Amino acid sequence: MKITYFINQYPQVSHTFIRREILALEEQGFNIQRIALRGWNADIADETDKDERAKTQYILVSGLLALLPYVFRQLLITPLLFVKALITALRMSRMSERNLIYHIIYLFEACKVASLCRGFNSQHIHAHFGTNSTEVALLAHLLSNIPYSFTVHGPEEFDKPLGLHLKEKVEHAKFVVAISSYGRAQLYRWAEYKDWHKIKIVHCGLDGSFLQGELDQPPVNKIRQLLCIGRLCEQKGQLLLLKSLRKVIDSGENVTLILAGDGEMRHAIETFINKNNLQNHVQITGWISSKQVKQLLMNSDAMILPSFAEGLPVAIMEAMAIGTPVLTTYIAGIPELIINDKNGILFPAGDIDATKKAMVGFLSKSKDELELMRQQAYQSVERHHNIDTEAAKLACYFKEGV
């Protein structure tokens, strides 16, 4: 079966879960066409991502003007379908944060996507994230009559469901994937009841590079090391984490924190570090490869994620799979995977004292308590987030949707 994957930017360090899904589907006999808007010139270090980039067709690699021949050809060949897609694009512009011109551009992009899909003889189009990439996939579906589906991750889609026209996107789709029960429930809120049956759960998954069947020995660090992975932005909560860290250190604990990532709040975070004398306790890595992230996880005593908003972070699964205990917040789909004080530690989001308490509680655990937590964490992620199992679920939905 020939499936087209359409993604806004691919490959990308933070989107390794999409790569795993594609490769697992190919292992199960699917022929996958990769199409992305951008990513041909991305700075990537991972060799597998470099291979994926060579397999990907890019919509904007030659600029917007290069899309015009695809638009004229589509208008000439299927004028009625083009008008239908144009009307939908106009509707999508209502209540959207982006003005009409963006949605016309999405239609132009969809003309090239539809052309590439027809050339591939694609039987189904699948998009990740219910944002502009899904709008382009929807318009390509209308232009080509090839069925489409999409995966919703959150939290962005649930922040502005009306502006993103989630209801209309679900209505046109053959099926819609949520990555957690929480995500499915949020889609139920915005979809028509008659479309609820379309909403499926397929978890993000890990492959054999993480699920190896046994755990390595934990690191032996003289000073306990915590790792926080993610974009340096408001919703990830790093500033509050630093405030909690200052309190932990003031209480007499000796601990270091690595912030793996980069983003718009880096200057504010660096300023806080300098003003609060945390230079010897905090390191910011900037963007690093997935291989480097994995090595940091293996070298750290725990991963901490103080987010205010998430879907169900893949970084949590990766940490659990290699035996790194996870401290994170009671939000979104996270409690579906982590049970507090069993296979990880949960604390309320946005609470500096609760974050401090979680860190101090972790630091006080015995070696035996931590080993039990590590083993239970691995079992949980192996049971619920094996990419081969999850890709097999998705494969069934693709076959049913043709």
Task: Note the pLDDT of residue 127.
Answer: 98
Bond prior to 11 in cis (omega within 30° of 0):
yes
Which amino acid, 244?
A: S
Cα(326)–Cα(337) distance, integer angstroms: 11
pTM of the full predicted structure?
0.94
For residue 45, pLDDT over 80 is answered with no
Number of Cβ within 10 Å of residue 393's Cβ equals 14
pLDDT tens digits along 268-309: 999 999 999 999 999 999 988 778 888 999 999 999 999 999
Cα(254)–Cα(258) distance, integer angstroms: 14
Looking at the DSSP assignment, which residues form a beta bridge with residue 236?
none
Instruction: Give the three-state DSSP class for 199.
Output: strand
Cα(37)–Cα(6) distance, integer angstroms: 8
pLDDT tens digits along 344-357: 999 999 999 999 99
Task: Note the pLDDT of residue 402.
Answer: 57
| Dihedral angle sign, alpha carbons of residues 184, 185, 191, 192 | positive
Contact 265, 238 (CB under 8 A): yes
Tracing tokens 């939000």 back to the chain, one arrives at 331
Span 179-184, average pLDDT: 98
Task: Identify the band that residue 4 occupies on the pLDDT scale cut at 50, 70 and 90.
Answer: very high
Task: Note the pLDDT of residue 401.
Answer: 66
pLDDT tens digits along 320-342: 999 999 999 999 999 999 999 99
| C-alpha gyration radius of the chain | 22
pLDDT tens digits along 113-152: 999 999 999 999 999 999 999 999 999 999 999 999 999 9
Task: Note the pLDDT of residue 43.
Answer: 81
Tracing tokens 């293996």 back to the chain, one arrives at 298
CB neighbour list of residue 270: distance below 8 Å, 6 or more residues apart: 284
Which amino acid, 248?
A: V
